[in-house]
Structure formats: structure tokens, C-alpha cells
Amino acid sequence: MTTDGSLPGRRERKKAATRRALSDAALELFLERGYDRVKIADIAEAADTAVTTLFAHFPAGKEALILDDSGEREASLTAAVRDRPDGSGVLDALHDFFAGRAPFADDLPEEFQRRMALVMSTPALRDYARRVWIACQDSLAALLAEAAGRTEPDDSLYVLARYVLETPDLASDRPDRKAALAEAFTHLKQGWPGF
């Protein structure tokens, strides 16, 4: 379905199929050869497309083939904050949101687990994932301000947004990822008790 609830047209379905073919080809090649040994041309050839087609769908390059979300992260953060249960704090909702995603959730589909294992073991992909999350800082700060009944975020909300978005990357390196994530959010709630 499209954002307005209608079914996608033929052109949109073809675009989605091409994106999926490129992403699947990239994943298989990265797992088979290693991320650094795969060139963009290899991926395009494996997906039976032109390099220009690959860049038309993934202008950010190789990393986006595995981690592109077309705005999914920002939309998910927005939903986590706005759709939280009555009486639930924003930081509790954000903790639950991250705890349900890789690398913290245990019940993810096998294909997604393969992607996340690749990301966690590939410095370029891991750095890209962190940058994509950090790019949500301004929108998360605005959501925090909205939740607090403010018209716009102040510096403390920008700081909180940044800490929240850095937390998953930091916690994912710890031996007990889930416990580290929970502990980080406990500290954030102490620093921002109203959230």
C-alpha cells in the first residue's frame, strides 16, 4: 500500500522489485565475498541492472543497499513517541522501540538476522547505520518538545535526542546488549525525569 492507503501502481511495483533485487544481490555478494571485496558493478550485474539504475535507487551507494530505509527510521521513531500507551513515558517508549529492533531483539526473521550480523561485523556498514540514526536527531528533538508540550526543542532536548540515538550503537558493543540498553535508558530517565 502507498502512504494514502491505495495499492501501488505498476511503476511503483517495478521500482520496489528492482530495489529488492539490488538489495538481495548485495546481501548475497557481501556475505559470500565480504563487503570490501564487492564493487557496485558486481551488484548491478548480479541483479541484472545497470550501475546507473543502482544509483538511481540507492544514491548513497553500497551501504544503503543493506541499510536503506526510505524514511522508515524517522517514521518509526515518530510512531514510538506519538503512539505510546497512555501514561507511558517517552523514554520508556523509546527503550521498548529499540529493544524490539536488531541487534537487541531475538525473534527477528532469519534474513534480517543475516543483514544485522553483516552490519555488526562490517565497520563501514556499522558507521553508516549510526549516521542514519543520528540524522534523525532534529526530528526526535521536535518530538520530545511536542511530548513536553513545548513549541520547539531547547538545547537540552537536542542533547537528549542525540543521547537516545547514540545509545543503541554503544549498547550493542556490550556483552549483554539488552542489559546495557536498559541501563542506558535508566540513566537517561534520571537525567531527564519528566520524560
pLDDT, tens digit, for every residue of 93-149?
A: 999 999 998 888 888 888 788 888 888 889 998 998 899 899 999 999 999 999 999
C-alpha to C-alpha distances, 40 to 22, 27, 131, nearest whole angstrom: 10, 12, 21
What is the value of pTM for the model shown?
A: 0.81
Question: Which grid coordinates are listed for 176?
Answer: 549483554
| 3-class secondary structure, 37 | helix
Q: CA 182 to CA 177: how far, in whole Å?
A: 9
Both ends of the chain: CA-CA distance in Å? 34
Confidence check: pLDDT of 1 > 70: no
pLDDT digits (tens, 9 = 90+) for 15-50: 888 888 898 999 899 999 999 999 999 999 999 999
